Amino acid sequence: MDYSVLLWLPISLYAIAPWPQVRTNYRRGDAVGLSHWMLFLRIFAVSSYTVYVYLLDLPLAHKLLYPVCLSGLIILAIQGYHYDNHRSAQRWLRFASDMPQIYRNGGMSDLTLSLVYGLPLPTILATARVTICYFIYLTQFFVYRQCGAALQDL
């Protein structure tokens, strides 16, 4: 018996798990009770695992179904922001302001993965660029913060 067929069942259930909630939110026109932190953590986890799936060339079930799960989670996050009308603008603004930090953290993760898996030099240099920019930003933050404190003392 080919046991790889058994792999499809649990991964399929995991992949379709967010979709009933997507449908429910759409029909109700709201996303009451939807935890944005849970979504953030699940999106990060599934995104990371999806990269892992392709880097290690895992079976086809993983390659097809984890992106399906990820897309459902992303749609849930969009619904959560869209249907929460009274705070929607504030949440979008907060989400958008976090994007540069998320991008830089992702760059550091990419650099680490590139070095661990020995990816080609252009990949390592591209991810190193993001990490270097992040450290420049961090240095500026601390330097200007100290300068601002010194000016306030005057």
42-96: pLDDT as tens digits: 888 888 888 888 888 888 888 888 899 889 988 888 888 777 765 555 555 555 5
Length of the chain: 154
Q: Which of 33, 31, 40, 144 is nearest to 80 (CA)?
A: 31
pLDDT at 50: 86
Q: What per-residue string of b and e applies to 60-91 under the rule 16 or more CB within 10 Å gives b?
A: ebbeebbbebbebbebbbebbbebbeeeeeee
Q: State the span(s) of the chain assigned CATH 1.20.1280.290.
A: 1-85
Q: Which of 39, 20, 16 is nearest to 28 (CA)?
A: 20
Q: Could you give the angle at the alpha carbon of 9 between the alpha carbons of 8 and 14, nearest 5°?
A: 95
What fold does the segment set 1-85 form as a domain? Answer: Monooxygenase (1.20.1280)
Radius of gyration of the chain (CA): 20
What average pLDDT score do residues 6-21 get?
82
Taking the model in full, what pTM does it have?
0.52
